[in-house]
């Protein structure tokens, strides 16, 4: 992530409750934050995403300078250099972007979900094609994910609890799981993409070890942790096979065996008061763990044995949190107003 002296990024030091949403970046592991909101326009009068609430966020797996901001109601914005500003994706305006995924083999191939539909762009967000819709208009397509080893395989999950799979980049779909609980997230094992963990609102985690042909419910593996079945955020370690971190309504948990067993990560605040919205882990150092609540950014550099806290630089809730996979001193955070933040964490509404 390049944000040098020539970039128009400024600190926000006063009460900017009307304009302190959007996207924020830290280059020092969360010690200081900068709001990055400029939207270049043909008129020369710059626009801004500073007043926008975020709902989804993604980093291109091939290029960490390519970021995607899925707003709550203003469509999709993207940047290939955050210092140069954000651009709005054509034909995806005035909608809530539920989920975003960039193909690992083609940075111009992007998938987004909005409402009951899935869209695909093959030309770097210039044009979009609808490739799936659910017959029930009230159904939300909550998550989309692309297999990192075979990018033709796409998975989507909806609010009805179904997982659909495509093996031809979204041209055809088949239902592979009916969980009965709204899907929060689809996460592949970084070492073996046949291993997939699906997180839900009320049933915990489902796991497949054969690319979605068969599934096992892992709910009984988390019963000792009260209220842990709503998985707010799940992060897989790319360095340690089988290592997953989960933020739940209980608190933070860690598994070293792909979800077969879990241990608690101690928090500063009691678990019932934590209200975690998003979780991130340094992909190059599993002991660096970060999470964000409605008011506070938390960081640990010893695997959760101790924590540092910092008040958020915004009056809004911290919503999505990610560590730059290349320059791991850089952390990205998006914001969302409190009245839109629910007990379902960053995936809820």
CB 265 within 8 A of CB 289: yes
Give every strand in the sheet of 216-217, ordered side by side. Answer: 183-189, 192-200, 205-208, 216-217
How many helices (H) does the chain have, and how many strands (E)? 1, 30
Q: What is the structure's pLDDT at 17?
A: 46
- Residue found by looking up tokens 């924590």 in the block: 307
Encoding tokens for residue 65?
Answer: 């300078």
73 contacts 115 by C-beta, under 8 angstroms = no
Neighbours of 62 (CB within 10 A): 12
Query: What pLDDT does 13 receive?
Result: 40
DSSP secondary structure string for all residues of 319-332: EEEEE-SSSTT-EE
**Beta partners for 168?**
none
Q: pTM of the prediction?
A: 0.91
Residue 7: count other Cβ atoms within 10 Å of its Cβ. 16
Edge-to-edge strand order for the sheet containing 263-265? 231-236, 244-248, 252-255, 263-265
Per-residue pLDDT of the chain (349 residues; tens, 9 = 90+): 555 433 434 334 444 446 899 999 999 999 999 999 999 987 777 799 999 999 999 999 999 999 999 999 999 999 999 888 999 998 898 999 999 999 999 999 999 999 999 999 999 999 999 999 999 999 999 999 999 999 999 999 999 999 999 999 999 999 999 999 999 999 999 999 999 999 999 999 999 999 999 999 999 999 999 889 999 999 999 999 999 999 998 899 999 999 999 999 999 876 555 689 999 999 999 999 999 999 999 999 999 999 999 999 999 999 999 999 999 999 999 999 986 444 344 434 4
Tokens of 99: 């989920």
**Phi (first) and psi of residue 195, to 5 degrees:** -90, 115
């Amino acid at each position: 992530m390049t944000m040098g002296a020539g970039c128009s990024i400024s600190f926000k030091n006063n009460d900017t409750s009307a304009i302190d949403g959007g996207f924020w970046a830290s280059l020092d592991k969360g010690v200081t934050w900068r709001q990055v909101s400029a939207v270049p326009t043909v008129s020369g009068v710059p626009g801004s995403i500073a007043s926008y609430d975020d709902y989804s966020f993604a980093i291109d797996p091939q290029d960490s300078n390519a970021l995607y901001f899925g707003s709550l109601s203003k469509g999709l914005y993207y940047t290939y250099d955050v210092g140069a500003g954000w651009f709005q994706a054509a034909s995806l305006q005035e909608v809530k972007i539920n989920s975003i995924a960039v193909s690992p083999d083609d940075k111009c191939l992007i998938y987004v979900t909005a409402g009951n539909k899935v869209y695909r762009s093959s030309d770097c967000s210039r044009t979009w094609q609808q490739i799936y819709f659910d017959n029930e208009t009230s159904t939300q397509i909550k998550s989309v994910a692309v297999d990192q080893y075979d990018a033709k395989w796409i998975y989507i999950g909806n609010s009805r609890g179904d997982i659909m799979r495509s093996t031809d980049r979204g041209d055809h779909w088949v239902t592979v799981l009916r969980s009965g609980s709204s899907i929060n997230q689809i996460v592949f094992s970084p070492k073996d993409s046949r291993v997939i963990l699906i997180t839900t609102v009320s049933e915990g985690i489902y796991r497949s070890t054969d690319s979605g042909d068969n599934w096992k419910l892992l709910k009984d593996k988390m019963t000792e942790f009260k209220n842990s079945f709503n998985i707010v955020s799940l992060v897989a370690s790319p360095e340690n096979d089988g290592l997953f971190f989960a933020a739940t309504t209980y608190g933070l948990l860690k598994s070293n065996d792909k979800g077969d067993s879990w241990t608690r990560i101690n928090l500063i605040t009691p678990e019932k008061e934590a209200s975690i919205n998003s979780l991130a882990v340094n992909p190059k150092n599993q002991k660096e763990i970060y999470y964000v609540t409605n008011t506070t950014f938390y960081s640990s550099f010893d695997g959760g044995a101790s924590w540092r806290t910092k008040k958020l630089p915004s009056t809004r809730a911290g919503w999505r949190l990610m560590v730059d996979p290349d320059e791991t001193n850089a952390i990205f955070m998006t914001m969302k107003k409190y009245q839109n933040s629910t007990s379902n964490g960053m995936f809820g509404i």
